[in-house]
Amino acid sequence: MREPVLLEADGITVRYDGMARPALQEVRVAVRAGVPLGVVGESGSGKSTLIRTLLGLERPVSGRVLYRGTDVAALRGDALRTFRRKVQMVFQDPYNSLNPRMTVGQTLGEVLTVHRLAARGSVLRVAGELLGQVGLDPSLAARYPHELSGGQRQRIGIARAISLEPEVLLADEPVSALDVSVQAQVLGLLDRLGRERGITLVLIAHDLAVVAAVCREMVVMEQGRVVEAGLARSVIEQPSHPYTRQLIAAVPQIEPLMPPAPL
Amino acid sequence: MPDPLLQLAEVQVTFASDLGEVSAVDRVSFSVERGEVVALVGESGSGKSATALAIGGLLPGHARVGGSIRLDGAELVGRSSTAWRGIRGRRIAYVFQEPATALNPVFTAGYQVSEALKVAGRRDSLEERIAALLESVGLRDAGRIASSYPHQLSGGQQQRVVMAMALAGEPELLIADEPTTALDVTVQAQILELLAELQRSRGLAVLLITHNLAIAARLARRMVVLYAGQVVEEGPAAEMVHAPRHPYTHALLRAVPKLRGAGSAADLVGIPGQIPSPMALPSGCRFHPRCARCVATCRGEVPELADTGSGWRSRCPFAREVGT
């Protein structure tokens, strides 16, 4: 049996004023429960517009975004609040997405209070637990964003997102601003959250190898269209679209050592 | 034996700060031969950009440079600003990460290339020289590109214009500081190919500063790996990415996600902990708190960068056993 679809772009077209070509053209993407999905593309491919539209921040001119089968444009009241909670976002630059004047504990506490997920007296304890879940020391709650490293800030961004117990986590280039040695830690964390907490990851990345490491399925976007979709491993090993082949060929790779030539 | 084109010996860079002197580059030594591509590899805080800027005397006023940097045997450290004339832009040229910030938005690409030519002392037949330069960096429609403003060009075209400006003075050494990091992956591949082509056709020496080991291995003959301001390993690039002799290089290679034959994220091995702040460097070996091979002596004794044979140096006493 196939996993149920949580979030779906159902043939969406999105236009921005003054742009000759639509940012998205009849894009179909389905996020299925428990199946991490990678979205790959270069600048202008529409991958960031896709994310904004899936979050309900852009209105498609045609097509619909469906959350558990319901058009998100029609959501009101409690249903809209639930959607806003269950579909969360992690941004590329963890520094710009945290309030510099709030401590980590205040940032996490505000989310918990607004969504009434922790009683006033227990906010600090819950914030500490969240930090633990993303592999950080609970004492970091007293720190400000500028006192933290890039990897720590990205973990705070993830802690903020998972504090709402989302079903879908949209992550837009979550490791591209991080050093290689900490990238793997954050990718491992995103992977673990999927396995242990049932959060379905949608990972937007320009780096195919990052998608290959974390996602089961992937879509390749070019100029507002999905040009290829399928199991991540098959797309990478047997790409069928010329653009996908071009993209894969362009990734700098450390070539495997050739076996020694026979004498 | 003639002097190498560029030779750094015990180079130190310190910055004055409210908290006192902060060391960004600590006794870095390496050289670049004529026509050679050397990669300087490191993560943030490694000192790779400070080293690159020190070579051209481009560090801000509150930075102090110690040690020796020689171009063709002539000392560059401590030069007055007039003594830099004839060197920067003429013998050493730079390409930086963000082409959009390297170009002036209110002037056409052609005008900016002509300015670079004038600085390089080439004032005759400017039109022809501009066209020839733009063509040499793979911009075929040189006339249209020359009359375009930066915002009318793609990121790849902008970076090619920046490279044309760098080549205006026919430099012997090009310092390319993360030249493709801001570009899309297909454009990146084209720019790397262009760099390799320029090195072959012009005999240009390139110091390539990058955090990407695959790019370093593809372009460079030799690779210098920096960690927390120090050289931890230097050796032949193609061999080092398969058999590194320092635990940091080894761990960095394992942390890079592979496109093919890779397992899941669970198999990705990150390096535990954080890159140390230059304000709070660990005692002993600077990598020891994150190192899988750390033993008691690593915490107390500062390891020397030692020759390990065949042009290879490593700052680890267990160099021979790394990766086994």
Report CB contact under 8 Å: A179, B217.
Answer: no
- Encode pLDDT of B66-125 as tens digits: 999 999 999 999 999 889 988 998 999 999 988 989 999 999 999 999 999 998 888 888
- Min distance B18 CA to chain A CA atoms (Å): 16
Residue A234 touches partner B, C-beta closer than 8 Å: no
Strands of chain A (E only): list them.
Answer: 5-14, 24-32, 37-40, 62-67, 70-71, 87-90, 168-172, 200-205, 217-222, 225-231
Laid out side by side, the sheet with B205-210 consists of B92-95, B173-177, B205-210, B37-41, B222-227, B230-236, B312-314, B306-309
Laid out side by side, the sheet with A168-172 consists of A87-90, A168-172, A200-205, A37-40, A217-222, A225-231
Residue A181 touches partner B, C-beta closer than 8 Å: yes
The shortest CB-CB distance from B260 to any of A149, A188, A236 is to A236
Token pair of A33 as six digits? 């429960």
Give the ipTM of the model, two decimals please.
Answer: 0.84
Q: Using 50, 70 and 90 to split pLDDT, how confident is the model at B290?
A: very high
The shortest CB-CB distance from B270 to any of A184, A192, A250 is to A184
- Min distance B264 CA to chain A CA atoms (Å): 5
Report CB contact under 8 Å: B43, A248.
Answer: no
DSSP per position, B62-100 = TEEEEEEEEETTEE-TT--TGGGTTTBTTTEEEE-S-HH
A41: nearest CA partner in chain B = B184
State whether the Cα torsion A148-A152-A154-A159 is positive or negative. Answer: negative
Instruction: Over range B225-245, report the average pLDDT.
Output: 96
Residue A88: pLDDT over 70: yes
Report CB contact under 8 Å: A253, B269.
Answer: no
The shortest CB-CB distance from B43 to any of A180, A184, A213 is to A180
Q: Which residues are within 8 A (CB) of A94 and not within 5 positions of it... i.e. 6 or more apart?
A: A145, A150, A153, A154, A156, A157, A177
C-alpha A42, offset from chain centre: 16
Residue B196 touches partner A, C-beta closer than 8 Å: no
Instruction: Over range B52-65, report the average pLDDT.
Output: 95
Instruction: Over range B230-243, report the average pLDDT.
Output: 96
Instruction: Over range A145-153, report the average pLDDT.
Output: 89
Residue A83: pLDDT over 70: yes
Residue B44: pLDDT over 60: yes
If you average pLDDT over every residue of chain A, what do you get?
Answer: 91
Query: Which H or E run includes B308?
Result: strand B306-309
Rounded Cα distance between B305 and B224, Å, is 12
Mutation target among B218, B260, B277 for the A interface, most CBs of A within 10 A: B260
Of chain A, the percentage scoring pLDDT greater than 90 comes to 68
